[in-house]
């Protein structure tokens, strides 16, 4: 029994332009404004979406408890919208869902967001739930692997929801350039992906992971009294560059493929340098990273939902043919790299599946 991605849907809070954020807020906070201005201008971001627009509410002085209160206020309705729309696009209802997996590293509560959504969506009482937290930007791909295992084993549809409200973790003003980079890149989003047996535009083939523990301090996400603080070393692209070709080639070789065989690339846009590095290391044509650059430009880096948003952009904007290989890639704390191989099927999201045929 194969597992297929049947639909992807993203729910977004209101947008704010990058230049507006800089001119009306961030250029006035204490730091090296000339360098910070270059970072904002060079981030590759045109606009971001945020539940905590600093032009309206400055959460930088909020306690972690106050930020978690805002997370609980905004996360459930945003996640509900994303899942509802994804199920509708896959021609399924909440009653069809056998498992709901929720990924988030920007908020915590118990009962968790998975329980809240099980109630608001009216999932079946026997629907399984899984929460994946604190894995960061790459969490969507191990989440996808887990969901596809469930679908293949139980022959029931499942939903993966990646939801991050990074705007709740704006830090108090400092001269630390890593804080400036975070303030220039990150946005909020909720992306839901439906996986079902036997039908859908993308078939899941496999996943490979690489962790370089020697670079564990290059990308961190630490709980503090003032929210969660990120460190993002400028050395991350260099470390990623050491591993990306081997990881991709090994996964492709397992399926009798090589890099030139791949017809679609969904690379997590951690920033412009990341995309440049991946493209250079793999020898890709310049337009291969355009779906990733588009998502970065229009949404910023939204942590775990972002690679799924790129995958959706790729499906919407490219002419994938039946059998075309597609690679999704994301990285995060560890320093960890995940690579996932998919195959285009040429099927529509609502095509009859083996599940439908068997009743």
Which residues touch 36 (CB under 8 Å, ≥6 apart)?
26, 27, 177, 180, 184
Average pLDDT for residues 34-39, to the nearest whole number?
A: 88
- The answer to whether residues 201 and 6 touch, using CB atoms and an 8 Å cutoff, is yes
The model's confidence at residue 203, banded by pLDDT at 50, 70 and 90, is very high
Rounded Cα gap, residues 308 and 302, in angstroms = 10
pLDDT of residue 359: 32
Average pLDDT for residues 103-125, to the nearest whole number?
A: 95
pLDDT of residue 231: 78
Which segments of the chain belong to CATH 3.40.47.10?
A: 3-197, 202-344
The model's confidence at residue 353, banded by pLDDT at 50, 70 and 90, is very low
Under DSSP, is residue 209 helix (H, G, I), strand (E, B) or coil? strand
Helices (H), the chain: 18-24, 33-41, 64-89, 113-121, 140-154, 177-185, 236-253, 272-282, 290-299, 306-317, 354-358
The answer on pLDDT for 124 being more than 90 is yes
Question: Is 3-197 a domain of CATH 3.30.420.40?
Answer: no
Class of domain 202-344: alpha beta
Which two three-digit tokens encode residue 6?
Answer: 């049947």
Residue located via tokens 């503090």: 224
Active-site residue numbers?
Answer: 137
The answer on pLDDT for 350 being more than 70 is no
More confident residue, 187 or 238: 187
Rounded Cα gap, residues 132 and 288, in angstroms = 30
Average pLDDT for residues 146-162, to the nearest whole number?
A: 97
The model's confidence at residue 238, banded by pLDDT at 50, 70 and 90, is confident
More confident residue, 235 or 167: 167
The answer on pLDDT for 352 being more than 80 is no
Segment among 31-35, 66-70, 303-307 with least mean pLDDT:
31-35
pLDDT of residue 59: 95
The pairing of strands 219-224 and 227-232 is antiparallel
């Amino acid at each position: 029994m194969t597992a297929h991605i049947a639909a992807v849907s993203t729910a977004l809070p209101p947008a704010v332009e990058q230049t507006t954020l800089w001119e009306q807020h961030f250029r006035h906070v204490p730091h090296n404004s000339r360098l910070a201005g270059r970072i904002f201008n060079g981030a590759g971001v045109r606009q971001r979406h945020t539940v905590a627009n600093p032009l309206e509410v400055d959460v930088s002085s909020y306690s972690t408890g106050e930020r978690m209160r805002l997370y609980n206020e905004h996360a459930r309705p945003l996640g509900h919208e994303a899942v509802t729309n994804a199920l509708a696009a896959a021609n399924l209802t909440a009653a069809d869902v056998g498992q709901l997996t929720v990924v988030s590293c920007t908020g915590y509560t118990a009962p968790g967001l998975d329980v809240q959504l099980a109630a608001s969506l009216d999932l079946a009482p026997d629907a399984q739930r899984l929460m994946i937290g604190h894995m960061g930007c790459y969490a969507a791909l191990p989440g996808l692997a887990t969901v596809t295992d469930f679908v293949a084993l139980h022959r029931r549809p499942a939903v993966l929801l990646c939801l991050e409200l990074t705007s709740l973790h704006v830090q108090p003003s400092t001269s630390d350039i890593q804080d400036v980079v975070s303030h220039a890149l990150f946005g909020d989003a909720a992306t839901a992906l439906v996986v079902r047996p036997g039908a859908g535009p993308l078939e899941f083939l496999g996943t490979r992971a690489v962790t370089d523990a020697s670079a564990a301090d290059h990308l961190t996400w630490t709980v503090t009294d003032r929210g969660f603080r990120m460190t993002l070393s400028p050395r991350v692209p260099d470390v990623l560059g050491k591993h990306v070709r081997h990881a991709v080639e090994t996964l492709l070789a397992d399926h009798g493929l090589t890099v030139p065989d791949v017809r679609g690339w969904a690379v997590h846009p951690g920033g412009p340098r990341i995309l440049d590095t991946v493209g250079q290391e793999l020898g890709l044509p310049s337009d291969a990273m355009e779906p990733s650059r588009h998502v970065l430009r229009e949404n910023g880096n939204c942590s775990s939902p972002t690679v799924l948003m790129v995958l959706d952009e790729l499906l919407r904007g490219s002419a994938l043919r039946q059998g075309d290989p597609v690679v999704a890639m994301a990285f995060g704390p560890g320093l960890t790299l995940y690579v996932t191989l998919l195959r285009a099927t040429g099927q529509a999201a609502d095509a009859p599946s083996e599940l439908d045929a068997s009743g």
